[in-house]
Amino acid sequence: METALPAAGFLYWVGASTVAYLALRISCWFFTALRVWGLGHEAGVGPWLGEWAGEKFKVETKTIAVDFTSEDIYDKIKASLAGLNIGVLVNNVGMSYEYPEYFLDVPDLDNTIKKLITVNALSVCKMTRLVLPGMVERSKGAILNISSASGMYPVPLLTIYSATKAFVDFFSQCLHEEYKSKGVIVQSVLPYYVATKLAKIKRPTWDKPSPETFVKSAMKTIGVQSRTNGYPIHSLVASVSASLPSWLYFKIAMYSGNSIRVRYLKKMKMN
């Protein structure tokens, strides 16, 4: 009986500490969500950054057609951008696997490795190299690098994609620290699923917003968060994922990826 009392006391404090920790995490998340999405604040991007920043809303537009799977496109882009004051750069080009797969079994593996690194990682560095000097010279500008929630934590069965998106995230964080004192915002955007044709999601849902809904939400984070999931529900999911022990996270990730893989391969055999 005497030995049971200290053990019960120990378990009590373990439970109380766990509850306190979870309560603190939840409180921090709600505070951050309120600050970012609930309270009104001045947008981090706008006409003051430059005339060349969008496709509509009565601003000037110039189209440069290139294939980002190629490495010899940047001289053409540089020449086309000559003389333009670029206020906002959105590095949104990207590609992933056709379906989750084990590394050695990825179809056309050598070509896939080259394409994903060239499109997802090289393009971000090269486009930033072209646009950043002008922003630094004018002491203003914003670079929004679209990473992925897959870049926050390793995602097995999407290994190359996850790794390249992690590169984008780290690159963005480093660049922001280097150039924020020079008036340039560099933001890493790490969304979960958005209802697009590329993601093969036809209809938006509460956790898979339309591109318009996601962009409207993400815009509120510019100048407030240098690293964001861009959407309240995505931010909540990221917080939950971060609280999981690594063994449980990887178990869930492998199960989810394998389930999608099996369904895809079964569908291909039926066709």
Residue 246 · residue 207 · CB < 8 Å? no
Cα torsion through 221, 230, 48, 186, rounded to 10: 90
DSSP 75-127: HHHHHHHTT--B-EEEE------SS---GGGSTTHHHHHHHHIIIIIIHHHHH
CA 87, CA 54: separation in Å to the nearest integer? Answer: 10
Q: Is 161 a catalytic residue?
A: yes
Of residues 161, 179, 192, 231, which has the active-site annotation? 161
**Contacts for 45 with CB less than 8 Å, ≥ 6 apart:** 53, 87, 88, 142, 219, 222, 223
Residue 182 · residue 167 · CB < 8 Å? no
Residue 92 bridge partners (DSSP): none
Residue 73 · residue 127 · CB < 8 Å? no
Q: Give catalytic residues, as residue numbers.
A: 161
